[in-house]
A and B are shown apart, each in its own frame.
Chain A
Amino acid sequence: MDMLEKIQVALAELFPETAPLVSQEGEGGQEVPPRESGALVTNFTKYGSHLDVLCRPDQVVSVAQIMDREGYFLEAISGVDWLDKQQFEVLYDYNRLGGKHCRVMVRTRVPRNEPMVPTISAIFPAADWHERETFDFYGVHFQGHPNLIRILLPEDADFHPLRKDYMP
């Protein structure tokens, strides 16, 4: 548990006003209070990650710098299309290689018609390909990426397949 507290302390410099909330461990699942940003401790056995951080798109790079400083590695970047809320969500999964493990999930939401997120590929080179894949599937534009071209679909494809309103 000390790894979890350590990362909460490190992240507290970014989220001073919302202190980390402890999840309700009950039958009905945890109540996620609507929040703009903040860190939430989650039940690892059920959800698979220790900490759930919701941040604004401009805070993504600072969070990545803190994670890099604390010795985490970037496991995956995924995108989610919330069509009813007209938002894209970008999920970053961080993990530790060896030692006491602690999984942190960082989420950020962007509007669907103008999805722009700053890139973290300068801090984690792993993000290079993951961000290209998220761009390929959803059309999320990562500002500052050195080579934001398609990776899995043909280079001249003009659609983003994993959007919920796409049907070939």
Chain B
Amino acid sequence: MGEENVPSSIVQFAQLDSLLNLGRANSLWPMTFGLACCAIEMMCTGGSRYDISRFGAEVFRPSPRQSDVMIVAGTINKKLELAVKTLYDQMPEPKWVIAMGNCAISGGPFKVKENYNVVEGADKLFPVDVYIPGCPPRPEALLEGIMTLEEKITGKRRWPRVLPG
């Protein structure tokens, strides 16, 4: 789905909005939605080596009502489709979605002609903000995805982009 211009709240503040956005970006609370292999890399990101709590996102909430961002880590099925959509609808605004791994982006290794059960990408169900490719993506890639989401929320990047070379 394409870009949607959805206002973040009914009441619009002026300069206070950027302060609120800074607060939101630095304390994204993910929902534990690990479905398959990518979930293990998400757990590794929460471990002590690739510490995700440096970026404020350590508090994985089991309930969608208490979380900001849904990290779709794994393959979505035709049987699970309705549950995923319900979980997305239950999250309060403002909410974001990170599609982690090839399966959540486009169906991944299961997008073949015999496919009868896999939904080809999370963006067939709801708008996705950040796509992280990989099968599974490294924990550093997930951290880069969090930082890209922060840049999308605040407009500024917390850490300068390190270019190769």
Contact B79 A161 (CB under 8 A): no
Q: Which residues of A contact B115 (CB under 8 A)?
A: 168
Does A32 reach chain B (CB closer than 8 Å)?
Answer: no
Which residue among B78, B113, B117 has the maximum number of chain A CB atoms within 10 Å of its CB? B117
Contact A153 B117 (CB under 8 A): yes
Contact A168 B78 (CB under 8 A): no
> B47-84: contact bitstring with A at CB < 8 Å (1 yes, 0 no)?
00000000000000000000000000000001100000
Contact A161 B116 (CB under 8 A): yes
Does B4 reach chain A (CB closer than 8 Å)?
Answer: no
Does A97 reach chain B (CB closer than 8 Å)?
Answer: no
Does B114 reach chain A (CB closer than 8 Å)?
Answer: yes
Q: Which residues of A contact B117 (CB under 8 A)?
A: 153, 161
Name the CB-closest residue of B to A154: B79
Shortest distance between the CB of A83 and any CB in chain B (Å): 16
Interface size class on chain B is under 10
A side interface size, CB within 8 A: 7
Complex CA gap A167/B112 in Å reads 11
Q: Which residues of B contact A159 (CB under 8 A)?
A: 116
Name the CB-closest residue of A to B79: A154
Shortest distance between the CB of A38 and any CB in chain B (Å): 36
> B102-121: contact bitstring with A at CB < 8 Å (1 yes, 0 no)?
00000000000111110000
For window 29-62 of chain A, which residues contact chain B by CB distance below 8 Å?
none
Q: Which residues of B contact A167 (CB under 8 A)?
A: 113-114
Contact A153 B79 (CB under 8 A): yes
Complex CA gap A161/B112 in Å reads 14
Which residues on A are within 8 Å of B, measured CB to CB?
A: 153-154, 159, 161, 166-168
Can you sample 13 A-B contacts with CB below 8 Å? A153-B79, A153-B117, A154-B78, A154-B79, A159-B116, A161-B116, A161-B117, A166-B116, A167-B113, A167-B114, A168-B114, A168-B115, A168-B116
